[in-house]
Copies of this chain bind each other. A is one copy, B any other.
Amino acid sequence: MIVPTKQKILDAAERLIAEQGYAATSLRQIIAGAGVNLAAVHYHFGSKDELLSSVIERKVGPVNEKRLALLTEYEAEAKGAPVPVEKIFDAFLTPMGKVAGTHPQFVRVMGRVVAEGMLRTVLEKNFPEVQARFFGALRRSAPKMSDEEFEARIQFMIGVVSHTMTMCGPASEGGFEARVERMIRFLSGGFLTPEGGRK
């Protein structure tokens, strides 16, 4: 079974970036792992940044489709009422958890990318519809929350998910998948906490 150069590069990049982070992984490590020439990376991908984009795009597409399908299903169940926040988080996190079961390295790559400050780029490139649909659903579930509080809580929740994606170990130790249910509860509890002053 012959593996095309392009795929060998993507596989090696995904594995090494998951283990070491993006900045800490050199192209020379990647080509050594893939058994190809340095220039092949630039021929197929153009740059290190675009190689990272390709690693993400290869697997994030199906995850996002599944997320949107689940959210659509839950919205239909709600019959016009706001979708319960637990369901919204479930629709967002479960598809990534499923992928984590079979491709734990990919999930860590996603976490690394967010943690290393490339959140905005990735979000705008691969998540525009997911972002709009999920933020909108959450907003409808908390109509009385102020805009400032809503925006702050969105950022808090991004922090929870990205940190968990980065820090979760291999599937054998539970990994991201084992944390999905706990995250759904934690995020729901935090998001639904009444706004306002403390004693």
By a beta-carbon cutoff of 8 Å, the part of chain A in contact with chain B is: 21, 23-24, 86, 112, 115-117, 149, 152-153, 155-156, 158-164, 166-167, 179, 181-193, 195-198
Residues of B within 8 A of A188 (CB): 193
A186 → B minimal CB distance (Å): 4
Stoichiometry, copies per complex: 2
Check B166–A117 contact: CB distance below 8 A: yes
- The DSSP consensus for interface residues of chain A is helix
A-B CB contact pairs (8 Å), 9 listed = A21-B117, A23-B23, A86-B198, A115-B115, A163-B163, A181-B197, A189-B189, A190-B190, A190-B193
Distance in angstroms between the alpha carbons of A194 and B143 in the assembled complex: 24
Q: CB within 8 A of A163: which of B23, B155, B187?
A: B155
Residues of B within 8 A of A112 (CB): 117
Residues of B within 8 A of A190 (CB): 186-187, 189-190, 193
